[in-house]
Structure 1
Amino acid sequence: MVFARRRRIRPVAIDPATGRRISPWPFVGLVLLVSSFFLYAASGLLAPAWAVVVLLLTWLVMLVLCFVWWTSHPKRTVLLGVLSFVWWWVAITAGGILLDWTA
């Protein structure tokens, strides 16, 4: 059969400006980070106002760090997205236990 020996080619996204391959990992990390924002924004239901401000500032720092790592360390952005969920859970849980936050 003629088609049995054809080589399969994976589609690769190439940046037309630089000619380099575009990695999907920064996009995955950004989606994770942005999807965690609703937890940080809704933290006012569980935490005092000053804690919500601190949480939103940490989320903003993680967002800026995601863009800083976009091209230099694309796989770190995924870890940062996962860390955003973990950090929110740790902060809310620790605040509830240690600082006696009540809704």
Structure 2
Amino acid sequence: MAAHLVLLVPYASAGLVAPPWAVAGLLLVWAALLVLALVLLRGRRPVLALAAPLLAAAMWLLVLTAGDLLLGWTA
């Protein structure tokens, strides 16, 4: 859970590169992954909660890379 909370910093600072609507979408994705991690942590397979920070990092990188290549987002 600490790794997922640490990822809030790059998600929130994505506004240096991405437009506000993209940052809002990224923060919604981060929150959804946090809820998923909490549900998995309380479920039968809590070890799957470890995948949430990895998925969050990959999603952040994918969105910002796609935004740069396809939409011309730059710092």
Q: TM-score, structure 1 length as denominator?
A: 0.68
Equivalent pairs, count: 74
TM-score (norm 2): 0.92
**Can you give the 5+ residue segments of structure 2 that lack an aligned partner in the other structure?**
none
- The unaligned stretches of length 5 or more in structure 1 are 1-29
Residue 40 of structure 2 corresponds to which residue in structure 1?
Answer: 69
Counterparts of 1:74 and 1:88, CA distance in 2? 23
State the identity as a percent.
38
Aligned: 1:84 with 2:56? yes
RMSD, aligned CA: 0.9
Alignment partner of 1:32 is 2:12:
no
- Residues of 2 paired with 1:79 and 1:65: CA distance? 10
**Structure 2 residue corresponding to 1:97, chosen from 63, 66, 69:** 69
1:40-69 CA deviation, whole Å, 9 max, x = no partner?
Answer: 000000100000000000000001111111
**After the TM superposition, which segments of 4 or more aligned residues of structure 1 sit over 4 Å from their partners?**
none
Between Structure 1 and Structure 2, the one with more helix by share is 2
Q: Compare CA radii of gyration and give the structure with the larger one.
A: 1
